[in-house]
Amino acid sequence: MKFACTILLFLISGSILHAQTQSDYSIRELKNGSFTTDKTYIYALPFQKGKKVYLVQAYDSKFSHKGENALDFKVKEGTTICAAREGTVIAVRSDSDKGGLKPEHLSDGNFISIQHSDGSVAHYWHLKKDGVVVKVADKVVKGQVIGYSGNTGYSAFPHLHFEVVQNGNQVPTRFSTKKGIKYLRPSKKYLVP
């Protein structure tokens, strides 16, 4: 009996049983569905219902997302952008009409930042000039129209750059898609349910 109690205490102490969290998995493992006990928030794709979007870059993609947990959705300029999660608008910019792949355009992007109830912040980048329809302090609900896509800032073509930051770090996010809940993969199309 003493031996069984000792083994049980050893297991409970966490030496063998370790409650795995999202950070225990690589981006590849997350995208392949290896994290089966995932309890992270499920985001809505940031577009209107029925919209099909193409994901150009995902987490740690080679072009401009190396080491980043951000997503680039290729969409036409003026595509309606919706809140992926409820929260409070904490920052916006919509006065820029500049964009391109030169370093001087890094600070030219129009954007919306929305803080969520857990303290995380979603950033929506490269919106068109005058393409922001919310203002700082607005409360938004998941799926609400917040702006329109563009090609401002450090950008080669019209798209939406989406990322979520928690405690100063970009975090991978799961989305509800027509085919279920997924960590998105690049070079794939996704349909907003």
Note down pLDDT in tens along the chain; length 193 residues: 554 444 434 444 444 444 456 666 666 666 555 556 788 999 999 999 999 999 998 876 565 555 678 999 999 999 999 999 999 999 999 999 999 999 999 999 999 999 999 999 999 999 999 999 999 999 999 999 999 999 999 999 999 999 999 999 999 999 999 999 999 999 999 999 9
Segment 102-150, tens digit of pLDDT: 999 999 999 999 999 999 999 999 999 999 999 999 999 999 999 999 9
Whether the CB-CB separation of 43 and 8 falls below 8 Å is answered with: no
Cα–Cα distance between 191 and 193 in angstroms, integer?
6
Tell which residue, 135, 131, 169, has the closest CA to residue 148. 131
CATH number of 22-191: 2.70.70.10
Phi, then psi, of 77 in degrees rounded to 5: -60, 135
Q: Where are the domains of the chain?
A: 22-191
Instruction: Provide the CB-side half-sphere exposure for 190 (13 A, CA).
Output: 27
